[in-house]
Amino acid sequence: MTELYDYEFLLNRVREALPETVKHHERFEIPKVEVIHEGKNTIIRNFLSITKKINRDPMHVYKYLMRELGTAGTIQGERLVLKGRVSPSLVQRRIDRYVSTYVLCSECGSPDTELRKEGRVELLVCKACGAIRPVQAKIDVRTASETLKEGRTYDLEITDVSRDGDGIAKYGNYVVYVPGARKGHKVKVKIIKIKKNAAFGEVVS
């Protein structure tokens, strides 16, 4: 005679049969970045804690952030020190994008994945469902070969504010100072003066 089981009993049996990574991946949370500014530098205080949580090589995350943020930096103990002032929200968005690209499985959403290299192709392999996909990073910053020119107008996003109250935007390796521009605004900026990697502009209508 066939035994009858209620719904809760059967549901619990299914849950017990699931791998731990599948049962608990919904609890996966990335630590919020802890950003402070020291002089002209930006410090990610919990950088190594983040890389440990997402189970990725700190140097891999470091190289990604340097490329995405268009800056240079060094890992010092638990911290990542970036040259220049970068807004916390921008750093958080880049960390979130890294996780979406290099950590989470696109099929089942599990963070229990690993990176493999086959030739020049980087693959994301999911240990939970077995899915494999090539990694294709999206890079927002412009390459260093693209240079600003005095007198030209550019569409820029103001990501920070200087001590003097000027808006700050990034363009490749340039830091652009824009008087009167507010953080979070996208504006058209005419470049007035360029000095090494710093540029000064004005908002145009």
Return the CATH fold of 153-203.
OB fold (Dihydrolipoamide Acetyltransferase, E2P) (2.40.50)
Q: Is the pLDDT at 22 greater than 50, yes or no?
A: no
pLDDT at 9: 64
Is residue 10 pLDDT above 80, yes or no? no
Q: What is the pLDDT of residues 33-53, one digit of tens each?
A: 999 999 989 999 999 999 999
What are the tens digits of pLDDT across the range 128-180?
998 998 987 554 444 444 678 899 999 999 998 888 889 999 888 788 999 99
Contacts of 66 (CB under 8 A, 6+ apart): 72, 73
Statement: residue 14 has pLDDT above 70: no
Cβ within 8 Å of residue 181, ≥6 positions away: 158, 166, 167, 169, 187, 189, 203
pLDDT band at residue 92, thresholds of 50, 70 and 90? very high
Q: How far is CA 186 from the centre of its chain?
A: 20
Give pLDDT, residue 141.
Answer: 41
Pull the structure tokens for residue 70.
């268009």
What's the confidence (pLDDT) of residue 25? Answer: 44
Domain positions in the chain:
7-134, 153-203
Residue 101 has pLDDT above 50, yes or no: yes
Question: Which contacts (CB < 8 Å, 24+ apart) does range 10-19 have?
Answer: 19/128
Distance CA(148)–CA(132), nearest Å, equals 40
**Residue 142 confidence (pLDDT):** 41
Q: How would you class 165 by CB atoms within 10 Å of its CB: exposed for 0-12, middle for 13-18, buried for 19 or more?
A: exposed
105 near 124, Cβ under 8 Å? yes
Please give the pLDDT value at position 46.
96
Q: Is the pLDDT of residue 73 over 80?
A: yes
Distance CA 175, CA 30 (A): 29
Distance CA 57, CA 59 (A): 5
Distance CA 21, CA 105 (A): 12
What whole-number percentage of the chain has pLDDT above 90?
55
Fold of 7-134: Defensin A-like (3.30.30)
Establish whether domains 7-134 and 153-203 are of one fold: no
In the block, residue with structure tokens 């820029």: 156
Residue whose C-alpha is closest to residue 126's, from 142, 138, 115 = 115
